[in-house]
Amino acid sequence: MKRSKRYLEVIKLVDKSKLYDPAEALELVKATAKAKFDETVEVHMKMGVDSRHADQQVRGAVVLPHGTGKKVKVLVFAKGDKAKEAEQAGADYVGAEDLVAKIQNENWFDFDVVVATPDMMGVVGRLGKVLGPKGLMPNPKSGTVTMDVSKAIADIKAGKIEYRLDRENNIRCPIGKASFTVEQLKDNFTTLMDAVIKAKPAAAKGQYIKSVVIASTMGPGIKINNQKLVE
């Protein structure tokens, strides 16, 4: 794979054999984010659990204290008073069967998060095959199937992110932008790691978090010292 001149320059800043403290790693992430746009900073965790087993799932949601730096579009499936509540709370799209049809017929995905009231899940269930693979299916565990739609929308707009184990037993989450200060990124990182550690399944055996790497969109991966995850 041919690497750009810019990438080859910034990779020299990173010692591949070293495990960095989070603050030092985040300073490096900012130093290596040299693209012409404000790069997203992501955390990649390799987990010591098996996603094939129902009792070893790791999933939940957490509000990052400084948000993600991204404007998030929220779609809400609701009717009547709950639909009005969603509109007043700042949802970008509110509807029911009409939005299901739009997604099915037009392959429309101009949204980042889906919230639904419990009574709408029968309707939303029809979209399982298209929303599921994209990680957009509303779920009670992540607080996106709820009667309190205004709180759900407020949390999402404030920087709530969902973390979930993928098929390869990894978790990938954004924790902000390269333009954030190191302190803001560290607060967000610590909040996320704290939530993931607390979500450890009882059935998990051995080392729960095998490795943690931080990287910006176009930058190299920087390995974190597992002993320093929640300083």
Which pLDDT score, from 0 to 100, does residue 100 have?
94
DSSP state string for 62-79: EE-TT--SSPPPEEEE--
| pLDDT tens digits for range 53-89 | 989 999 888 999 999 998 899 999 999 999 999 999 9
Q: How many residues does the chain have?
A: 231
Q: Classify strands 74-77 and 113-116 as parallel, antiparallel or unpaired.
A: parallel
Domains of the chain as residue ranges with CATH: 15-67+160-228 (3.30.190.20), 74-158 (3.40.50.790)
| pLDDT tens digits for range 182-203 | 999 999 999 999 999 999 999 9
**Dihedral-angle region of residue 92 (phi above 0 means left; psi in -120 to 50 means alpha; beta otherwise):** alpha
What's the mean pLDDT in 122-132? 92
165-195: string of b/e by CB count within 10 Å (b at 16+)? beeebebebbbbbbebebebbbbbbbbbbeb
Task: Enter the tokens of residue 126.
Answer: 């029809």
Q: Tell me if the pTM is above 0.95.
A: no
Q: How far apart are CA 230 and CA 190, in angstroms?
A: 5
